[in-house]
Amino acid sequence: MTFKQELQHKLQTLLSQEDLSLLPTGYQRVGDIIILNLPEQLVKNKKLIAEKVLELTKVRAICNKTGAITGTFREPQIEFLAGDENTTTIHLESGINYKFDVRKIMFAKGNVTERVRIAHQIDKNEIIVDMFAGIGYFSLPIAKIGKPKKIYAIELNPISFQFFTENIKLNKIKNIEPINGDNREIIEDLSKTIKADRVLMSYLPPPKEFLPWAFKIIKRGGMLHYEDIVNADEKEKQKDIDRIMDEIQEIAQQYNFTIKLQLAKCIKSYGPKKDHYVFDIMVN
């Protein structure tokens, strides 16, 4: 039986036929915690449903997504429903352990291939600046797989930064220097002494206003990884890509750079007729 069929079987005498038909077909598992995304009609029975999911899956805790990611710190809207109330977990992905609290920290499982793809591009002599490090989404796999000379990983959110420093120790990594603060202020100081071979701008909404600081720290011949939203419609997609590159080029010229697009890749769907893209950009 499928997950939904098993759950319907457990709840068949407790819910109406309509509610049974609305039960989720799956879930997101992060570490030993399951996150459901229950429709509004099932919220009145959320605790009951969570208890049955707990019985079926044997995980440590069940949570439910209650809204969209919000705020500067990209905070998830997650509520605890059943099991162990401690919602801090360790999620293993591509050989990297990520420790975080699912109620406080966003974790995009859809970016798994992208985190590894960039890590395999790295040269061992590179100096890298990660402008939006989070809990180490990209810095950790890059450090462990790519083994660059040094990663300066900057994170503003104090909660994310705390987990990031724990994750560096958890993964026994020595080539990351974590820095808590505003990346614009930090890069103003860093750029006086270093130039980066690679700059990561892995953040949505697209961090266009931070591009000047990326160009302040990157060296000629360096690689910029930038993220943005592109229209999923085939007729409009290239127009969006060209527009984004023109916007980046306009800022690059202010710092006497030209840019060349190496790759524009869809990471995942972002919403109706919108895709989340990464741009690999050579800076000359």
Residue where one domain finishes, among candidates 56, 86, 116? 86
Q: Which domain holds residue 217?
A: 107-283
Task: Compute CA 59 distance to the chain's CA centroid, rounded to the nearest angstrom.
Answer: 23
Task: Please tell me the predicted confidence (pLDDT) of residue 38.
Answer: 97
Task: Please tell me the predicted confidence (pLDDT) of residue 67.
Answer: 87
The reply to whether 66 and 133 lie within a common domain is no
Task: Please tell me the predicted confidence (pLDDT) of residue 113.
Answer: 84
Task: Please tell me the predicted confidence (pLDDT) of residue 157.
Answer: 96
In a domain, 181, yes or no: yes
Task: Please tell me the predicted confidence (pLDDT) of residue 70.
Answer: 77
Task: Please tell me the predicted confidence (pLDDT) of residue 139.
Answer: 97
The reply to whether 80 and 23 lie within a common domain is yes
Closest CA to 3 of 61, 66, 52: 52
Task: Please tell me the predicted confidence (pLDDT) of residue 217.
Answer: 98
In a domain, 102, yes or no: no
Convert the pLDDT of each residue in 220-251 to its tens digit.
999 999 999 999 998 899 999 999 999 999 99
In a domain, 96, yes or no: no
In a domain, 98, yes or no: no
> What pTM was estimated for this model as a whole?
0.92
The reply to whether 51 and 115 lie within a common domain is no
Task: Please tell me the predicted confidence (pLDDT) of residue 110.
Answer: 64
In a domain, 91, yes or no: no
In a domain, 245, yes or no: yes
The reply to whether 142 and 112 lie within a common domain is yes
The CATH number of residue 195's host domain is: 3.40.50.150
User: How many domains does the chain contain in total?
Assistant: 2
In a domain, 29, yes or no: yes
Compute how many other C-beta atoms are within 10 angstroms of the C-beta atom of residue 62: 24
**Residue 35: strand pairing partners:** 28, 63
The reply to whether 24 and 153 lie within a common domain is no
The reply to whether 24 and 162 lie within a common domain is no
Convert the pLDDT of each residue in 7-18 to its tens digit.
999 999 999 999
Task: Please tell me the predicted confidence (pLDDT) of residue 23.
Answer: 97
Convert the pLDDT of each residue in 145-173 to its tens digit.
999 999 999 999 999 999 999 999 999 99
The CATH number of residue 24's host domain is: 3.30.300.110
The reply to whether 122 and 205 lie within a common domain is yes
The reply to whether 242 and 125 lie within a common domain is yes
Task: Please tell me the predicted confidence (pLDDT) of residue 111.
Answer: 75
In a domain, 16, yes or no: yes
The reply to whether 266 and 129 lie within a common domain is yes
The reply to whether 145 and 206 lie within a common domain is yes
The reply to whether 75 and 131 lie within a common domain is no
The reply to whether 207 and 267 lie within a common domain is yes
Residues of the chain with pLDDT under 70: 109-110
Q: Is the separation of the CB atoms in 74 and 66 below 8 Å? A: no
Task: Please tell me the predicted confidence (pLDDT) of residue 25.
Answer: 95
